[in-house]
Structure 1
Amino acid sequence: MINSINFAAELLAQADALIVSAGAGMGVDSGLPDFRGNEGFWKAYPALGRARMDFTSIASPQAFRQDPALAWGFYGHRLALYRATSPHEGFGLLRRWGARMEHGASVFTSNVDGQFQLSGFDPQRTVECHGSIHHLQCMAPCGGDIWSADEFAPDVDAAACRLRNAPPTCPHCGGLARPNILMFGDWEWLERRSEQQAARQQAWLARVKQPLVIELGAGTAIPSVRHFSHRIVQQHGGRLVRINPREPQVPGAQDVGIAMGALQGLRAIAARLA
């Protein structure tokens, strides 16, 4: 493990750009819930546990169609939680490492929580491949508009997981609005915002020569982030440092796997750089 951490520190020193790729495990050290398995999910949302409703059922357009107050109770609670959560110190470490590099840092994340922007990462260099809870779209959708959720203040009965106040509505048709997030069984998600983010990142990558990907808390169950990390290695000559307590294996001999949580792994690398 010590050799892996030393190697990761060496790769940081050689890189001209930092690419942070992050999954759900990145937020755990900030106190955010990890929805791995029904038991953890139902512990965070006991009302859904009593109803035996799993994550894939509530995180779906069908839930908004069948019971908007319940669906917005779940997403409204998450929105309030993410607004109130302070990103852990690992975000700051990554931001400082990227700032020292010629081309700076860029982010690719499947997380919808906005924690990277909250911690000071450039929104213009952040790709949210599954969308953002801080943005809304029409449920229908009646058009292609995506707008900020800043004006929506959810009042949620946490015990019942139900929204008490009026849900947000589409400014064009007046119908129900939903988070601009890719859900399960979702054919209505508007991808335009995420596609624009990805296009900006591709233009940035064209200038980079020796990128280092630090991947954090991204598993194989929903492999969007892992696929991205591997693509950077294969197409852009990047190197990969994968920090994951359960699945730290890496594809190449020149890559590094560290079997730790996100914050623990970043702190270990920082200690070598000091």
Structure 2
Amino acid sequence: MLSSQTENNGLGPSAIDSEIVPLKLFLEKNLKACQLTVILVQCVQSTLYTAPHRSAMESDLEKAWRVAAEKLAAADFLLIATGAGFSADSSLPVYADIAKVDAYKLMDVEYQDLCDPYMLEQDEEVFYGFWGSCTNSYRDTKHHPGYHILRKWRDAKCGTNSGNNPDEKRSSFRAAFDRLNACDALPSGVTADSVTDGPFFVYTSNVDSHFRRDFDCKEVYELHGGVEMWQCAGDVETGAREPCEKIWKLPADFRFELDVATMRAPGAEATTCPECGGKGRPNVLMFHDRQWIANTAEENGYIAWESVMEVMLQEDPTLNLVVLEIGCGTRVPSVRRETEMVVADVIEGCGRPQATLIRVNPDIPTCDNPLILANDCFVPIRSRGLEALEGIDQELTKLLQKAKAGNR
């Protein structure tokens, strides 16, 4: 149809080109103008809407930091609870990302497969490669400044500048400890020397052992264990042979000979059970784990500290507890459950809102406990851990400066 029409109009190919080319240039020019207009409109929208929205978010964060700082400043006891999100600020992977490695994709294995004692029987080098990669990485990684902020807060709570005589507070703690111990209300085996008498404790599901770099071992409970301590694997396949009881620490200068391309590593003398000569494994609670040797001494120390702290709160209505939870998700919800239970127990046991849960999480800073919410004892902070700690610390500094100015 086109050819017959052009013939009737008396237009040849060259004549058609001479008409089309200018039209094409005109359309291209105007198309670019339209695209530029769209970009300008988007920029204006970003300025008008996105900036105020971002400012509102920042102001909400600052408000949450200030509220958290006020709670911390008034706290007599401070329980820190951390999960994988806290270690992520040291550039360590969270559980969802730890197995996102090409070698594991080729093997068609995921985190749940690797973090399983049965992998030691299925493929020993893959097992030691996974835990060797974790251990080497944890040891090489410098922990983020948030640890030092927490250490500063701990020292402030334990020191003479805490507003009370630290010796008097320790004496009160010991008295409550002795009363509970006398009526067998504490775990068997705990002694006054095995439990911290300070107002600070760390409860963590992280296995990197980074808290042990800055804090006393009596004030840290790694509820899932840590890669620095190893144990006998026993008979993983059938469970017919229990692991030897001895737990040992990896030498400080030991490194796994990891092939990064294949994520495999051989066993070594340091990972061999010194009692039976069998295979060793990290003293870490894994999936489907029936052979893990729990650190009962650490657990009992935490239980005793928490029990004494709750009694002191019940006996003195002026005392307060703050539970600061950082980076704990729902994939491994044990820490979230524990922090809510501790705060709820204090509220119920005291009959007063003497405890506050501050939950720092960039995705799910929510609380499921109705008792905590009903008593207005919950402070949500939607941010990463280090960002929140730095923001709260700045607000604490402002409060301290304001208090000093008022005392002049």
Aligned-residue offset at 1:137: 0.7
Q: Does 1:158 align with 2:253?
A: no
| Aligned with residue 324 of structure 2, among 211, 214, 226 | 214
Q: Is the 8 A contact 1:106 1:126 kept in 2?
A: yes
TM-score by length of 1: 0.92
SS in 1 for 2:79: strand
Q: Take 1:164 and 1:265, find their aligned partners in 2: how far apart are those partners? A: 41
SS in 2 for 1:266: helix
Q: Take 1:234 and 1:110, find their aligned partners in 2: how far apart are those partners? A: 20
Deviations 1:205-259 (A, max 9, x none): 3443322111000011211101110121022343111000001013422210000
Aligned-residue offset at 1:202: 2.3
Q: Which residue number corresponds to residue 3 of structure 1?
A: 63
* More displaced stretch, 26-35 vs 93-102: 93-102
Q: Which amino acid aligns with 2:222?
A: E
Q: Which residue number corresponds to residue 387 of structure 2?
A: 264
* More displaced stretch, 171-180 vs 100-109: 100-109
Q: Which residue number corresponds to residue 86 of structure 1?
A: 142
Deviations 1:190-209 (A, max 9, x none): 11x2x211211222234433
Q: Which residue number corresponds to residue 235 of structure 1?
A: 345
Q: Which residue number corresponds to residue 110 of structure 2?
A: 54
Q: Take 1:21 and 1:264, find their aligned partners in 2: how far apart are those partners? A: 16
Q: Which amino acid aligns with 1:136?
A: W
Q: Is the 8 A contact 1:16 1:104 kept in 2?
A: yes
TM-score by length of 2: 0.63
Q: Which amino acid aligns with 2:303?
A: Q
Q: Which residue number corresponds to residue 190 of structure 1?
A: 293
Q: Which residue number corresponds to residue 16 of structure 2?
A: none
Q: Which residue number corresponds to residue 207 of structure 2?
A: 112
| Aligned with residue 148 of structure 1, among 249, 255, 259 | 249
More helix per residue: 2
Relative to structure 1, the CA distance from residue 165 to residue 197 in structure 2 (aligned partners, 3 Å threshold; closer, same or farther) is: closer
Q: Which amino acid aligns with 1:159?
A: A
| Aligned with residue 20 of structure 1, among 80, 96, 99 | 80
Identity over aligned residues, as a percent?
A: 33
Q: Which amino acid aligns with 2:366?
A: Q
Aligned-residue offset at 1:165: 5.6
Unaligned 5+ segments in structure 1 are none
| Aligned with residue 74 of structure 1, among 130, 135, 140 | 130
Q: Which amino acid aligns with 2:378?
A: D
Q: Is the 8 A contact 1:99 1:105 kept in 2?
A: no
Q: Does 1:200 align with 2:282?
A: no
Relative to structure 1, the CA distance from residue 150 to residue 231 in structure 2 (aligned partners, 3 Å threshold; closer, same or farther) is: farther
Q: Which amino acid aligns with 1:28?
A: A
Q: Does 1:100 align with 2:119?
A: no
| Aligned with residue 333 of structure 2, among 198, 220, 223 | 223
* More displaced stretch, 124-133 vs 229-238: 229-238
Q: Which amino acid aligns with 1:147?
A: W
Aligned-residue offset at 1:104: 3.5
| TM-align CA RMSD | 1.6
Q: Take 1:71 and 1:215, find their aligned partners in 2: how far apart are those partners? A: 31
* More displaced stretch, 197-206 vs 66-75: 197-206
Q: Which amino acid aligns with 2:277?
A: G
Deviations 1:38-74 (A, max 9, x none): xx3343x321122120000011011011111110011
Relative to structure 1, the CA distance from residue 145 to residue 33 in structure 2 (aligned partners, 3 Å threshold; closer, same or farther) is: same
Q: Take 2:111 and 2:361, find their aligned partners in 1: how far apart are those partners? A: 22
Q: Take 2:68 and 2:104, find their aligned partners in 1: how far apart are those partners? A: 41
Q: Which residue number corresponds to residue 93 of structure 2?
A: 33
Q: Is the 8 A contact 2:231 2:243 kept in 1?
A: no
